[in-house]
């Protein structure tokens, strides 16, 4: 997922300077600002009103003030002041989703909104994608109140926009003060100009104060959360699915008595005719676990025309938006870059038609755009994964899991169509994760023109060895080598006519798009959304539009048009029947997954190794069970049968070896293991040094030529012990490799272990259910305890995935000072909630964060300190985090890593390693192996490496049973920024 460099880069871009007025700044305030501060303190119990715009009366007042023409000698000073205002003005960041929807889009929107606010910017969402931007707002801005602040936090609110002078007190709206920070930048500039005109002159100190008052970004801190409007009230309407219903149309059908979404609610809010909506921090709460896109998405033919883009540009300027994040596919991102490219000419046209003035033309002369890729097909080049693809794979695997049991019961064949017009990623990984018999993908069509015969021969060979079910997966864009489409119904007819199989067709369709996002589709969009805001704030007229992606498990930004062009090149290569070229555009993981599938599904004997090179490979599980162990074992067994080797299963770890609980595994025996959780071989924490002599004798007795050890920290320790005792026990002179598998992800040097993704998804499922209970109670905090040993990986990444507000890990521990700050945060946060509309909040605690401050103690402290504001409960997830069915990511990752392990063992192993042979001097000796043949396979970025035990040991804290350099450690800060803790603590 994301190693240290990614997190460091992301977190350095995450925070900004506090924008509230500090005590040191008060002395430098102008008289007007001091008066504002004093009046704000006097009115701290008055509910403030934040608006998306400003009342027409106030704007008229500002416009009627004649700004004097400054003498020529002051032109340079005026120009400098204008430049300062333009460069230091508060940024407006908008986000839209366009094209098809995908799970994880809401997480991306949430991340962009919250990170924008955390960076001192105003945040907007644009409903219905490009269509909404073209339409703009046809209704007047609807004000909505933010929650009343408590006296203890009211001093940190945004400065209220006071009357321009003592004689213009009528400019307040309904006797309520309007927050200056809620105004679009263009309105801020107008009011600054009007204020300057009334005062005629402005001193140097007043200019400095003006600069301080206008929000601007600085990535060295976090903006106070209490300095920004928490809610404009539109988040609930969006989450409830309020749309564009027609009240008049309802009345025409006699339904006028119904209260529909577009009718104004009790606070005067409505989404009718509103497509550009300002949102606050709380308007996106609860969005992490929602599928699809709550802000809507649509195809927009009008945006393809210049006239439509002209309207879109005008609407952006109306709201002072010059930073735009677009989440969509290649078409949406191409349109975004086209808008940016045309921006100067669009500005000229708007100026010529007097829709904007010269100052607006100068202020918004540059449009910053960044792209986030939302596509379930995972069809964008220059990124390893797109938002929504992992969840779509989850939906496919869940469906096939259900179908497979029916297929086996009735001995049927199922042909299943999945999405993927130009990319076979979903079909390929589903085939690996489900143990399918045959797949059709556009990048790699069947090798012969007679693919029908090839498929039938393979399925018939599977049936001959006793397999009761047959699963064929077809990508919607599947082709044969002559570019003739391969359709599911035709495949079904072939299976019925040639093999006589009872065959059914299932088209999964849009079920693949839906459902709650999986853990990775919450974490990845969050990290990418944070990086997107940073890219927007750093953009200059000279920098290209960027696409935020992930490569080598690091968040990256690449030129958007370059990524789109390479994506389109894949389709062109397929159309030109250059399938080898099409495959080169796919990453190494895609190619290795295809190889893993071909090996695991084949019973062909033409790839077997010569008899004199065939091996006996031992397979053993050590440590606690983890999702993916069985899938890795299945791939290893299938590789052995494909190459003519003998897979030797050692049951119940090294204790089983001592008991001679060992047997060979057949091809069919492991057929369904890919979907099974736990450990089919059995596992425990016993290390080989419990009886090294008898373990060595067991190796010799069962003639093991190589050893695959699957497990967590104990498995690593086992290989280390065996390697260190090679000189004493010649039986250990065989190549051996450790495949990391543990939910704790505490094995050093590797970014991921098998089972960690399954565990994260189990954590997300449990916390989603717990949050429902907490939110129903409105004011309840749940302290959720996770497993993980001395590693805080599960707690940290889980907190980011479920939106927890606090997280405790063994690496950082818990102190009394920390608890005091956390209690203060929770108290402040609940005091800022609107009455009756508090939300349930989660605190994630790793089980070994502290021996003193246990989960029970923390819960009691929070409950006691919460008093009238909030209650507290606890939940311990325990061994439920080992998960049931392994996640698709753990299954496919297991297949890839296991394949590489077996290739390593085959390369270094020598048959009959346990028997003696005659050396050069005629003396019976044992073969010896170098330290490079006792290794651990590790995921480092997108690369797979083999690390020797000596190298791994250098990066290991043996006492704490974890690595010394944990790449994910800084995610804790990001999780707490997204949860609001950093923003309120900085207040």
Enumerate the active-site residues: 377
Tokens 């990391």 — which residue?
A: 740
513 a known binding residue?
A: yes
Pairing of strands 934-940, 943-948: antiparallel
Question: Is 33 annotated in some ligand binding site?
Answer: no
Q: Determine whether the annotation assigns residue 376 to a binding site.
A: yes
Please tell me whether 792 is known to bind a ligand: no
Cα–Cα distance for residue pair 478/82, rounded to 1 Å: 58
Q: Which residue carries 């717990």 as its tokens?
A: 770
Give residue 693's Cα distance to chain centre: 48
Q: Is 511 marked as binding a ligand?
A: yes
Rounded to whole angstroms, how far apart are CA atoms 794 and 742?
A: 11
Listing DSSP states for 11-80 in one string gives HHTT-----SPPHHHHTT--HHHHHHHHHHHHTTTSPPEE-SS--HHHHHHHHHSPPPPPPGGGHHHHHH
Residue 531 marked in a binding site: no
Is there a binding annotation on residue 278?
no
Q: Is 421 annotated as a binding residue?
A: yes
H helices present in 510-552, as ranges? 520-538
CA distance 218 to 917: 70
Residue 734 Cα distances to 335, 440, 613, 638, 913, angstroms = 58, 39, 15, 21, 7
The three-state secondary structure class of 774 is helix
Residue 495 carries which DSSP code? Answer: I
Query: Which residue in 882, 438, 445 sits closest to 679, CA to CA?
Result: 882
Please check if 744 is assigned to a binding site.
yes
Q: Tell me if 11 sits within 8 A of 4, measured CB to CB.
A: no
On whether 927 is known to bind a ligand per the annotation, the reply is no
Q: 798 with 844: CB under 8 angstroms?
A: yes
Burial category of 915 from C-beta neighbours within 10 Å (exposed 0-12, middle 13-18, buried 19 and up): exposed
Using CA atoms, how far apart are residues 236 and 436, in angstroms rounded to an integer?
A: 43
Alpha-carbon gap, residue 327 to 95, rounded angstroms: 8
Secondary structure of residue 349 in the 3-state scheme = helix
Which pair of structure tokens corresponds to residue 987? 């207040």
Q: How far is CA 204 from CA 22, 151, 209, in A?
A: 20, 34, 9
Q: Is 120 marked as binding a ligand?
A: no
Angle between helices 971-979 and 4-12 (to 10 degrees): 40
Handedness of CA 494, 498, 499, 502 (dihedral sign): positive
Q: What's the Cα-to-Cα distance from 842 to each of 111, 282, 412, 744, 788, rounded to whole Å?
A: 18, 15, 46, 20, 18
Residue 616 annotated as binding? Answer: no
Is 448 known to sit in a ligand binding site? Answer: no
Q: What is the spatial distance between Cα 20 and Cα 23, in angstroms, rounded to a whole number?
A: 10
332 labelled binding-site residue:
yes
Any known ligand binding at 377?
yes
The reply, when asked if residue 51 is annotated as ligand binding, is no
Structural contact between residues 350 and 393, judged by C-beta atoms closer than 8 angstroms: no
Whether residue 6 is annotated as binding a ligand: the answer is no
- Is 676 part of any known ligand binding site? no
How many angstroms separate the CA atoms of 619 and 637, rounded?
9
Confirm whether residue 780 is marked as ligand binding. Answer: yes
Rounded (10°) angle between helices 588-601 and 425-434: 40
Could you give the CA distance from residue 756 to residue 426 in angstroms, rounded to a whole number?
21
In whole angstroms, give the CA distance from residue 616 to residue 916: 16
Query: Residue 476, annotated ligand binder?
Result: yes
* Distance in angstroms (rounded) separating the CA atoms of residues 488 and 504: 9
Q: Which of 619, 617, 621 is nearest to 711 (CA)?
A: 621
Residue 329 counted as an annotated binding residue? yes
388 is in an annotated binding site: no
Q: Are 541 and 410 in contact (CB under 8 A)?
A: no
* Backbone dihedral angles phi then psi of residue 74, each to the nearest 5 degrees: -100, 5
Helix axes of 756-776 and 888-908: crossing angle, nearest 10 degrees: 160
Is 889 in contact with 631 (CB distance < 8 Å)?
no
* Residue 758 annotated as lining a ligand binding site: no
- Residue 127, annotated ligand binder? no
Token pair for 728: 């004493």
Is there a binding annotation on residue 17?
no
Beta strand 413-418 pairing with 470-475:
parallel
Question: How far is residue 373's CA from residue 386's CA, in Å, rounded to a whole number?
Answer: 6
Does 299 appear as a known binding residue? yes
Does the annotation flag 331 for ligand binding? yes
The binding site for Mg(2+) comprises 330
The binding site comprises 100, 299-300, 329-332, 375-377, 412, 419-421, 476, 504, 510-513, 685, 742-746, 780, 787-789, 847, 873, 961
The binding site for substrate comprises 375-377, 412, 419-421, 476, 504, 510-513
The binding site for ATP comprises 100, 299-300, 329-332
């Amino acid at each position: 997922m994301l190693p240290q460099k990614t997190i460091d880069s992301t977190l350095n871009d995450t925070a900004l300077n506090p924008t509230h007025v500090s005590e040191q700044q008060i002395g430098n305030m102008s008289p007007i600002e001091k008066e504002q501060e004093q009046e704000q303190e006097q009115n701290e119990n008055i509910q403030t009103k934040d608006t998306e715009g400003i009342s027409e009366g106030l704007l008229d007042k500002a416009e009627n003030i004649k700004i004097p023409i400054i003498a020529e000698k002051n032109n340079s000073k005026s120009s400098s002041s204008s430049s300062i205002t333009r460069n230091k003005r508060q940024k407006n960041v908008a986000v839209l989703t366009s094209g098809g929807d995908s799970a994880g889009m809401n997480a991306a929107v949430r991340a962009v909104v919250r990170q924008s606010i955390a960076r001192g910017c105003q945040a907007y969402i644009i409903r219905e994608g490009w269509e909404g931007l073209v339409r703009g707002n046809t209704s007047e801005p609807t004000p909505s109140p933010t929650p009343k602040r408590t006296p203890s936090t009211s001093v940190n609110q945004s400065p209220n926009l006071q009357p321009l002078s003592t004689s213009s007190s009528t400019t307040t709206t309904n006797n309520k003060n309007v927050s200056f920070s809620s105004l679009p930048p263009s309105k801020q500039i107008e009011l600054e100009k009007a204020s300057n005109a009334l005062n005629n002159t402005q001193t140097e100190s007043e200019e400095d104060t003006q600069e301080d008052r206008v929000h601007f970004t600085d990535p060295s801190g976090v903006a106070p959360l209490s300095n920004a409007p928490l809610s404009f009230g539109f988040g609930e309407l969006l989450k409830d699915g309020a749309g564009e219903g027609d009240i008049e149309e309802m009345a025409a059908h006699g339904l006028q008595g119904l209260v529909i979404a577009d009718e104004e609610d009790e606070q005067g809010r409505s989404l009718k005719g509103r497509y550009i909506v300002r949102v606050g921090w709380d308007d996106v709460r609860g969005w992490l676990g929602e599928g699809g896109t709550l802000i809507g998405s649509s195809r927009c033919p009008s945006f393809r025309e210049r006239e439509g883009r002209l309207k879109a540009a005008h609407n952006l300027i109306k709201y002072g938006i010059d930073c735009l994040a677009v989440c969509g596919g290649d078409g949406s991102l191409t349109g975004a870059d086209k808008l940016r490219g045309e921006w100067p000419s669009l500005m000229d046209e708007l100026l010529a038609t007097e829709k904007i003035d010269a100052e607006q033309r100068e202020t918004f002369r540059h449009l910053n755009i960044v792209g986030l890729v939302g596509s379930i097909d995972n069809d964008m080049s220059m990124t390893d994964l797109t938002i929504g693809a992992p969840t779509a794979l989850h939906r496919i695997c869940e469906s096939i899991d259900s179908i497979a049991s029916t297929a086996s019961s009735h001995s049927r064949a199922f042909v299943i169509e999945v999405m993927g017009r130009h990319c076979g990623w979903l079909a390929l990984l589903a085939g690996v994760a489900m143990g399918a018999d045959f797949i059709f993908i556009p990048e790699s069509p069947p090798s012969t023109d007679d693919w029908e015969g090839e498929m039938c021969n393979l399925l018939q060979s599977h049936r001959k060895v006793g397999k009761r079910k047959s699963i064929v997966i077809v990508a919607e864009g599947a082709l044969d080598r002559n570019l003739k489409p391969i359709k599911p119904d035709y495949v079904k007819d072939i299976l019925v006519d040639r093999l006589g199989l009872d065959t059914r067709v299932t088209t999964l369709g849009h079920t693949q798009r839906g459902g709650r996002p999986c853990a990775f589709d919450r974490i990845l969009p969050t990290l990418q959304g944070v990086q997107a805001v940073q890219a927007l704030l750093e953009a200059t007229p000279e920098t290209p539009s960027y696409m935020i992606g992930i490569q080598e498990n690091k968040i990256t930004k690449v030129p958007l048009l370059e990524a789109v062009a390479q994506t389109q090149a894949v389709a062109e290569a397929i159309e030109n029947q250059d399938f080898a070229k099409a495959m080169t555009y796919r990453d190494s993981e895609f190619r290795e997954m295809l190889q893993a599938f071909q090996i695991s599904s084949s019973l062909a004997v033409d790839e077997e190794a010569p008899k004199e090179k065939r091996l006996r490979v031992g397979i053993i599980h050590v440590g606690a069970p983890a999702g993916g162990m069985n899938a890795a074992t299945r791939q290893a067994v299938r590789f052995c049968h494909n190459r003519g080797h003998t897979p030797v299963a050692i049951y119940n770890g090294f204790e089983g070896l001592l008991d001679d609980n060992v047997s060979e595994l057949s091809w069919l025996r492991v057929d369904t293991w890919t979907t099974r959780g736990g450990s089919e071989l059995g596992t425990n924490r016993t290390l080989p040094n419990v009886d090294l002599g008898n373990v060595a004798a067991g190796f010799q007795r069962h003639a093991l030529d190589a050893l695959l050890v699957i497990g967590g920290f104990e498995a690593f320790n086992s290989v280390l012990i065996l390697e260190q005792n090679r000189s004493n026990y010649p039986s250990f002179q065989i190549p051996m490799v450790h495949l990391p598998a543990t939910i704790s992800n505490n094995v050093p040097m590797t970014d991921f272990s098998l089972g960690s993704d399954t565990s994260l998804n189990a954590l997300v499922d449990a916390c989603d259910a717990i949050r429902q209970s907490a939110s129903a109670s409105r004011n309840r905090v749940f302290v959720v305890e996770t497993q993980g040993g001395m590693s805080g990986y599960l707690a940290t990444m889980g907190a980011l995935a479920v939106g927890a507000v606090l997280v405790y890990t063994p690496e950082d521990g818990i102190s009394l000072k920390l608890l005091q700050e956390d209690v203060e945060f929770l108290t402040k946060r609940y005091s800022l909630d609107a009455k009756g509309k508090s939300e349930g909040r989660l605190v994630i605690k790793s089980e070994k964060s502290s021996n003193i401050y246990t989960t029970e103690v923390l819960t009691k402290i929070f409950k006691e300190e919460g008093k009238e504001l909030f209650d507290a409960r606890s939940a311990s997830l325990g061994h439920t985090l080992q998960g049931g069915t392994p996640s698709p990511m753990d299954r496919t990752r297991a297949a890839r890593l296991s394949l590489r392990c077996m290739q390593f063992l085959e390369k270094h192993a020598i048959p009959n390693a346990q028997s003696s042979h005659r050396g050069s001097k005629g003396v019976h000796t044992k073969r010896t192996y170098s330290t490079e043949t006792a290794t651990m396979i590790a995921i480092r970025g997108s690369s797979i490496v083999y690390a020797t035990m000596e190298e791994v040991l250098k990066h290991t804290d043996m006492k704490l049973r974890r690595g010394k350099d944990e790449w994910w450690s800084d995610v804790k800060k990001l999780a707490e920024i997204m949860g609001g803790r950093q923003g309120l603590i900085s207040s």
